[in-house]
Amino acid sequence: MSRLILRGLTKAFGKLTVVDSVDLALEEGEFVSLLGPSGCGKTTTLRMIAGFLEPTSGTIEMDGKVISSPGSVMPPERRQMSMIFQSYAIWPNMTVEENVSFGLKLRKLPSEEVRRRTAEILEVVQMRHLAGRYPAELSGGQQQRVALARAIVVKPSVLLLDEPLSNLDANLREEMRFEIRRLHDEFRITTVYVTHDQAEAMATSDRIAVMNAGRIEQVDVPHLLYTRPRTRFVAGFIGRTNLVEGRLAADEIAFDGFALKAAQLTGPVPVEGGNRPILLSIRPQSMMLHRTPPDANGRPVLPAMVAERVYLGESWDYVVRPRDSGLRLRVAAPPLQVHEVGESVWLEMDPHQIAVVD
């Protein structure tokens, strides 16, 4: 049985539909991220799961029991859920230890058990040596660890996180995303994580639900979302890509100035309809640049010219234009592979990394 199920979940504010017929099921112990741009409905969905908002239509089930439906919403305090907010929401007048133990004391657990469980979770989040400090004496990352400890120590059935790393700097965000995944692997709490940051979702999640305009466009494991996006929006939102329009005729896909054999692509290629338009997602790292014609073992190789370049430290970001074509393709190259603007190159494509987008 699934731990948490959303069925046709919809939320409208007046005439504005913010969440539109969302269906999603989470297995026990699964970590699922709701990923999308601002205004896509992900936080509203999370607030309905938490019990802060009543759905306009649809239901939320937990362990086979309906906990939210129009006109009937189980209060948040009865849902056996913990929620971590963007602002951390830890009490400034309590020490680290007092913040973490607060939920256990509310449940009227024996004092010795409260002390033991608080000490254990502080050890897990590497904050035991700071148990006597107040939030104002902690860094942002340390405050986030306190919020995580306070949420986990009560052993919730479901953990909800609403963009918890958005207030941290880039280095701390990277550190904390791996910390969140480490804690999930240790405690296996069913988790719903809201973020607009693709790297966060990719690093933490078992599956990612990409949302757009209130709907879920695709739910998949991270590497399939990246390599096999099903829609134009998902292809463009998850990482960088070249969205290239062509026309499929017989066994060939024709583009402006060149063509690819349909049989070279590893993903599904539509065959019905004969001569029809087709959209491909070609990732920058699925192409390579050469100064001389390479031995490509049957891979497509095109003469091209470097139109633009940007050095990013870990890589070069080139824009190349295939000969006799108006297309401009972004190509990622290693930092030591230096090409000048205006230089003639050979562009090699790996068809196994090219995805057909619906």
pLDDT tens digits, one per residue of 46-73: 999 999 999 999 999 999 999 999 999 9
pLDDT tens-digit readout, 124-159: 988 999 999 999 999 888 998 999 999 999 999 999
- CATH code assigned to 240-357: 2.40.50.140
The strand pair at 81-84 and 329-333 is best described as unpaired
What is the residue type of 66? V
Residue that wins the pLDDT comparison between 304 and 167: 304
pLDDT at 172: 85
| Vertex 217 angle, CA 261 and 22, to 5° | 155
Cα-based torsion angle of the residue sequence 134, 137, 139, 145 in order, rounded to the nearest 10 degrees:
-20
Structure tokens at 143: 């405050």
Query: How many whole angstroms separate alpha carbon 57 and alpha carbon 7?
Result: 9
pLDDT tens-digit readout, 313-358: 999 999 999 998 899 999 999 999 999 999 999 999 998 888 888 7
Average pLDDT value over all residues in the chain: 92
pTM of the model: 0.90
Give the CATH superfamily of 4-236.
Answer: P-loop containing nucleotide triphosphate hydrolases (3.40.50.300)
- Exposure string of 315-347, with b = 16+ CB inside 10 Å and e = fewer, is bbebbbbbeeeebebbbbbeeeeebeeeeebbb
Domain locations in the chain as residue ranges? 4-236, 240-357
* pLDDT of 273 over the 70 cut: no
| Vertex 62 angle, CA 86 and 204, to 5° | 40
What is the residue type of 44? T
What average pLDDT does range 255-280 have in this prediction?
Answer: 76
What average pLDDT does range 217-246 have in this prediction?
Answer: 93
Query: How many whole angstroms separate alpha carbon 85 and alpha carbon 88?
Result: 5
Q: Is there a contact between 295 and 259 (Cβ–Cβ < 8 Å)?
A: no
Query: How many whole angstroms separate alpha carbon 142 and alpha carbon 132?
Result: 13
- The upper half-sphere exposure of residue 133, i.e. CA atoms within 13 Å in the direction of its Cβ, equals 13
What average pLDDT does range 228-240 have in this prediction?
Answer: 93
What residues contact 195, with CB distance under 8 A and at least 6 apart? 33, 34, 35, 163, 165, 166, 201
pLDDT tens-digit readout, 291-319: 999 987 878 899 999 999 999 999 999 99
> Can you tell me whether residue 207 is helix, strand or coil?
strand
> Can you tell me whether residue 146 is helix, strand or coil?
helix
Number of residues that this document lists for the chain: 358
> Can you tell me whether residue 115 is helix, strand or coil?
helix
pLDDT at 1: 67
